[in-house]
Structure 1
């Protein structure tokens, strides 16, 4: 079972603006008839002029097909380097470049473009691994049904030494040191590092989409606990958040992270997570990131989860935020379960089964 170490005295209701209690959100046809008549007339004229046997209509966009049952043999490619970041080396007692790695699960003998699902492990930003047995089982589940599934490692507090200057922006470090106990400030810094790395992994996926037959129009990010916090921030934050705050001079390894690539996340899968990282981003930079263009969201959360900063009430808060924005969100109540409810079944379906249904329905995937 995963543990999530305390970061700060986070208040679910967030009554005031401080590092400890977070934000208060608020969200916001004109018909030009004569102009439209003119436009319609022009369009009709052009269509009539072009109505010949040679007229070419736009083809329907390609929609990937996935399988209801495990169908494909799965190939696993381990320890692929997706970029570099700085981390502390105990033997050298210094900060050095550290390879960032991911594992790829892909269906064999299939060449058509595939939907992609990138997952991030939990561990409270202190530990965790892309090789977690539950994540490996999930990789097999989705790849055998037609997805390209990736599980990534990211930097944690284990990569933090005395020199923080290359790991996170000064304003983030200052906020941590001024407001938190020493052991918790390290987690706070690691939250930034993890987000920076997750975005680097997504840009790597975009840069290598053709090689791995990835359809860029069907992107899912997901995670558990700390990974769910990171997945939500990946889908909701702006493209250059968690990278622009450090310059290339401050962090030369940014040049290894495909900064020229862009992406649009379609769906987020959150297992026992929260919005704490986005809340903290708003506290430091004064900018909230939730808006009506955010990806659709599926959450699964144990109703008895009282783990600090990922309590069940956090998913209820997210459900409310999404309702206000008018975006589809779904919360699967794992009745009687606490934190890390990997083995939960609801209506005789596993978490992967429920996630499958959500992705198929909300992304409009074909199913066989």
Structure 2
């Protein structure tokens, strides 16, 4: 399929790696987590992790917009905590880090010993109005917000202004998610995080962003725009690096990597990509079809990387209340992370 078509499909409907040959670590550097809720959960809310350029409804020039995250962490004395960063959905049009299911998930994991970080990021809401603008005016309006080559690709696939802005928001979302993860690494001592045990997850658009975050190279969605055109890059902990150990995918897709390949001609999949847990409903889903999960599992199988697909039978998109063999999404993903990261459980 023509890669440009992927942009159209996504925008109409929705709208790094760790070495698998891991050395055996001594017990004292492997985090300990609890099998049951064991700790009071503390929360630090609305922390600015970076700025990003954007527009309000009346601006004519890009402005710096603070991007926020919430940190859920256990009230214990551990200095060796795993971390789980979660990215909300919303079709790249909106959404919030405080979606009730995500708040519940944050408390679930933090009460068992994780640091859980829920992030907001730039969406169409921060892209202002481009009604009546010419192609050249739009390119100038979003200079420093998205690379020109990404915008040119979006113009080819989009049929409406909304679709065009959603395609551009795909880029800003990714840039911000990577900045959030670098912030986590930069602040690991504050929250006693062991950065060797990083999990990234998301739902829907957040899941699409998760896949691109874990599989793309560190410089992708970061270096396509110069710091001259986007001075806010200086707020994003550019010197930090990270290794994603596990990815958790709820009803998502690998479409953003397809778009990235269409724009830059770069296929980023390789045998060192993070292991992957997927939960996806098998019912009709116009947003992220079940076939997307099957495709991604096939890519992983061909690369020899461990992945697990849990089929949510009888469910479609947004199946937060789904259960499989009596286990909900939180417990299913917990089991995967604990097993594949060889965490010590008490």
TM-score (norm 1): 0.84
Unpaired segments ≥5 residues, structure 2: 8-24, 131-140
Q: Deviations over 1:50-102 (max 9, x none)?
A: xxxxxxxx966611010000000000110000000011122555421100000
CA–CA separation in structure 2 for the residues paired with 1:305 and 1:67: 37
SS in 2 for 1:339: coil
SS in 2 for 1:166: coil
- Residue 162 of structure 2 corresponds to 183
- Cα distance, 1:205 vs. partner? 0.5
CA–CA separation in structure 2 for the residues paired with 1:235 and 1:18: 21
SS in 2 for 1:119: strand
Q: Once structures 1 and 2 are overlaid, which stretch shifts more, 145-154 or 93-102?
A: 93-102
2:3/2:258 contact within 8 Å kept: no
CA–CA separation in structure 1 for the residues paired with 2:95 and 2:318: 13
CA–CA separation in structure 1 for the residues paired with 2:286 and 2:88: 16
CA–CA separation in structure 2 for the residues paired with 1:305 and 1:115: 35
- Residue 115 of structure 1 corresponds to 82
- Residue 226 of structure 2 corresponds to 247
- Residue 262 of structure 1 corresponds to 241
Equivalence map 1:78-227=2 (5 Å): 78-90=45-57, 92=59, 94-161=61-128, 162=130, 163-181=141-159, 182-227=161-206
SS in 1 for 2:4: coil
SS in 2 for 1:266: strand
- Cα distance, 1:152 vs. partner? 0.0
Name which of 254, 262, 284 aligns with 2:263.
284
Q: Deviations over 1:316-362 (max 9, x none)?
A: 11111100000100011000101000000111111000000000000
- Cα distance, 1:306 vs. partner? 1.5
Q: Deviations over 1:131-161 (max 9, x none)?
A: 0000000000000000000000000001113
- Residue 310 of structure 2 corresponds to 332
Unpaired segments ≥5 residues, structure 1: 1-15, 23-57
Q: Deviations over 1:221-261 (max 9, x none)?
A: 00000000001111000001001000001100000000000
- Residue 26 of structure 1 corresponds to none
Q: 1:134 to 1:60 in 2, by over 3 A?
A: closer
Q: 1:302 to 1:60 in 2, by over 3 A?
A: closer
CA–CA separation in structure 1 for the residues paired with 2:331 and 2:147: 40
Q: 1:271 to 1:305 in 2, by over 3 A?
A: farther
Q: Does 1:65 align with 2:25?
A: no
- Residue 3 of structure 2 corresponds to 18
Number of corresponding residues: 317
Q: Once structures 1 and 2 are overlaid, which stretch shifts more, 118-127 or 173-182?
A: 173-182
The structure showing larger relative contact order (alpha-carbon pairs under 8 Å, at least 6 residues apart) is 2
- Cα distance, 1:113 vs. partner? 1.2
SS in 2 for 1:168: coil
- Cα distance, 1:177 vs. partner? 1.3
* Aligned Cα root-mean-square deviation (Å): 1.4
CA–CA separation in structure 2 for the residues paired with 1:135 and 1:353: 14
CA–CA separation in structure 2 for the residues paired with 1:321 and 1:61: 35
- Cα distance, 1:110 vs. partner? 2.3
TM-score (norm 2): 0.89
Name which of 320, 328, 334 aligns with 1:350.
328
- Residue 359 of structure 1 corresponds to 337
Larger Rg: 1
